[in-house]
Structure 1
Amino acid sequence: MSTGELPPTSGAGGAASAPLHEPASIHGADGGASGADHSGEGVWRRAWRTLRRNPVAIAGFAIVAAFVLVAVLAPLIAPYGPHELPGRSDVRPTSIPGPSAEYWLGLDRYGGDVFSKLIWGARASLLVGVVSTLFGLTGGMLIGLLAGWFGRWVDFGAMRLVDLMLSVPSLLLAVSIAAIAGQSQMSVIIAIGVVQVPIFARLLRGSMLAQRGQDYVLAASALGLTRRSVTMSHVLPNSVGPVIVQATLTLATAVIEAAALSFLGLGGGEPSTAEWGRMLTAAQQELAVAPRLAVLPGICIAVTALGFTLVGESLREALDPRNRTRR
């Protein structure tokens, strides 16, 4: 076997990566009448072909795309800025104006336009979710790579650190870190990212350990390739599939955790800040007068998390080689 072609591989955590190449299908003299020949197709191309035919994946991608477009185009879509309070003079303690021609979803207790705040809140949630996930992904992959590469005492020390972090409930750990770091958006990003580090570290480490016992690793070592070359050129690329799937699922969790920390007042900013979690906090005092102030940001959080979850689960199924025979 040449070192340029990798044999079938298996991942960890239910999101196993498929082999990079499959043996050609057995066809008749006419090329086969059983359908298109996808032999030799790459794992990601096969996954994309599967996702395009999955209605659940399409729905998830549509939700995520809409969320990203709203967040990116917020300055063009929102009638008012994130800190503007155009209806401050119209708000009374016992009367909060509802939807109207000027304010499509009404006003909040501070006189801010709810529609504009929901749009700007999407941008804040996207920023926190993506940056915190990248932070956790980078830190987790670094720890997992060191543990899977060196093994022995490095693996033991890294995994004990991971076990220590996992022994504390994730939300409690995030609240503690955010409280110590101070009330700001950056502290929320750091807190959520740190909570995600052990998840990615254990997943990559387990996937790399599974790859180290494969025949292609033994063959590459027998040909004289160094451990560094084998790890970085073969083992690591074949191990990142489950990690990428987990990152997609973690984005949904990051959006929810960001809203939870802001709900607890750890996100910083003014009480009238355009952020979904902060909007939920402000709506608690007006549940009897204007329940829409809590329902609307809650729906945004739930739908966004649902979109990322649908994409992640669909990608997990598409990359699972056990599902290949069902396609």
Structure 2
Amino acid sequence: MDSEVAKGKEIVVDDGGGSDSCHEEEEEEVQSSSDDEDGETSGSMEALHSYWSTIFLIPNGIMNKIDSICRNFLWGGKDSYLRAPAVSWDKCCAPKAEGGLGIKNSKNWKKALFGKYVWWIASKKDHLWVKWISHVYLKNCWMGKQSDYTIIEGYNWLRGPSPKVSWWKICWNTMNVPKASFIYWAAVLRRLLTKDRLNRMGGVSDLSCYLCHNNAESHENLFFYCPFSNRCVQVMQQKLNVSFNPRDLVNWNRRGRRNSILVRRITCAYYVQLVYHIWHERNKARLYSKVTHPVIILKQGIQAVCIRFRSRNTSAITRGDEAWLQHLMQ
């Protein structure tokens, strides 16, 4: 590795020969249970209360407890989590296109579910209990003809409109490895627990970067100015034959439009993977004072993205795209 990366405290460069057994500890700053297929975690959370909400009017206290369990599981992987979450629950419950995780807000979802029954009554659907309520309680009431009601429309109405973010398709590209998407999401929101944020919380006094020890560790330094991160980006540029000067995680690349959609999506997925690896290596340096060589990081990232692509893609690809993929794996 370039000498400027290893100034200050000695950092051992791992050439890939050793085993990596520190995965769980390395990412304790921002943990996610979303390493499964896209949407499975949020689907499991929603299934916890969606069914029973259609049958019973669940008290708000129970809904708050359900939200607490879901929130703790998201950030800690279990039903109890003592730290303050890195991102507010309201933000997590926003749609992915609006910068959230797409998890349903249980209280609004409950109201939207019961809105279905209100609509049935209002439109006098052909259900025995609706007929009974209409006959007994609403026989002297007049209700105009109502349009069709869907639960998701009712939920969106209760949630209210919010502007879309420009980076959501990058973050939730189907070629992305889910845990990389989660770390990228937290990084774009600037919610990763870098030293400058920990210092504001009173957690650390030494602000030097774990990777280079040249500057104070912050979001900008970690991803844009740290020599180690810059070297990782250079290796990526050379291998993927892309040219950009990233100074933010959103508008990182507006070139390469002449490439195929597949090439652009996989290139985008590797960029998200690179953000994940930089954060991964930062935590490895914090715990073990060693980092992986950027070339090894490149190979690991490309392998993860290509495995993801092979598992998700079911359609044929062009010869040019297949040749490009083979070149990446070499």
Structure with higher RCO (Cα < 8 A, 6+ apart): 1
Above 0.5 in TM-score?
no
- Structure with the largest fraction of helix: 1
- TM-score normalised to structure 2 length: 0.29
